[in-house]
Amino acid sequence: MILFKKASDINAHLSELKRNDSSIGFVPTMGALHAGHISLINSCREKNNITVCSIFVNPTQFNDTKDFENYPSTLEEDINMLEKSGCDLLFLPDMSEIYPDGIKNTPAYDLGYLETVLEGKFRPGHFQGVCKVVHQLLQIIPCNELFIGQKDYQQCMVIKRLIESANIHSKIIICPTLREADGLAMSSRNMRLTEANRKAALQIFETLLYLKDNLSAGDLSSLLAKANAKLSSAGFKIDYVSIANADNLQLITEWDGQTKTVAVIAAFLGDVRLIDNMLLNSN
């Protein structure tokens, strides 16, 4: 695996490979890698000649400075995992490579409704930060395919919108969420859970299954109230438990029995914020 720190160096290297018709796949990450990230690398390798991964903990997407400061960092292990996975190139930029003009004067992105609900509502500015970094990374790494995990369901939609509106020639490939044996969605933040909270965390998955098993046409308020109660009694401080249209994230309070839906949850255990989602009435 070749490691690049300079944007101009990796861009020159990839542009040359592209001229020779290599297909380039890209997996952006914030490090603290786990098997979920490696499954993205594997999917990328299956479909592309060259697999690029980036590790950059992007300050502009953290609406809470404590969350940024506490974000886990395991660089040596990350590099070992990537080497073993067969990743070809690792981009490890510092701030000045991603934000050469600083973070103040960066453009704003029109994300419309997506920025007003769920993660957009509870983490103001988060998706602007995601767009800034992903846009910049895609300018540096001219990939054919960009691999993102379904665990960040709303982020996938935001990045799709960014790619369309900025006319970027990369195809987004959304890969399924990888889960621990008991069902907890893999996340870099899981490593910050205490032993007791790690056990309690499973309730997010259980609650999603409960919503899936009990979804029926009509008013959803009592189903959602029961889901909220399950999480609260397991010790969660809840940001939201919602059911939304899976295609546009419009919240659904009365289900017509047909619309494709997704259940989405964000909740804290201690100071660790976990998110997860599940498609309810399709695959």
Q: Can you tell me which residue has the tokens 């995992």?
A: 81
CA distance 85 to 36: 12
Cβ atoms of residues 272 and 278 within 8 Å: no
User: According to the binding rule CB under 6 A, does residue 162 interact with ligand PAF?
Assistant: no
User: According to the binding rule CB under 6 A, does residue 134 interact with ligand PAF?
Assistant: yes
User: According to the binding rule CB under 6 A, does residue 53 interact with ligand PAF?
Assistant: no
Write down the least CB distance from residue 224 to ligand PAF, Å: 26
> Amino acid identity, residue 70?
N
Q: Which residues of 76-94 are buried (b: 16+ CB within 10 A; e: fewer)?
A: eebbebbeebebbbbbbbe
Cβ atoms of residues 119 and 275 within 8 Å: yes
Q: Can you tell me which residue has the tokens 């890698």?
A: 33
CA distance 83 to 87: 6
Give the range of 72-80, 128-136, 202-210, 229-237 binding ligand PAF by CB under 6 A. 128-136
User: According to the binding rule CB under 6 A, does residue 58 interact with ligand PAF?
Assistant: yes
The DSSP bridge partners found for residue 149 are 175
Residue 37 among the catalytic residues: yes
User: According to the binding rule CB under 6 A, does residue 39 interact with ligand PAF?
Assistant: no
User: According to the binding rule CB under 6 A, does residue 36 interact with ligand PAF?
Assistant: no
Catalytic residue among 37, 126, 135, 169: 37
Give the range of 68-76, 130-138, 229-237, 263-271 binding ligand PAF by CB under 6 A. 130-138
Dig out the tokens for 25 from the structure. 């796949």
User: According to the binding rule CB under 6 A, does residue 133 interact with ligand PAF?
Assistant: yes
Of positions 115, 152, 239, 276, contacts ligand PAF by CB under 6 A: 152
User: According to the binding rule CB under 6 A, does residue 277 interact with ligand PAF?
Assistant: no
Cβ atoms of residues 148 and 173 within 8 Å: yes
User: According to the binding rule CB under 6 A, does residue 130 interact with ligand PAF?
Assistant: yes
Write down the least CB distance from residue 56 to ligand PAF, Å: 7
**Closer residue to ligand PAF, CB minimum distance, 141 or 204:** 141
Catalytic site positions: 37
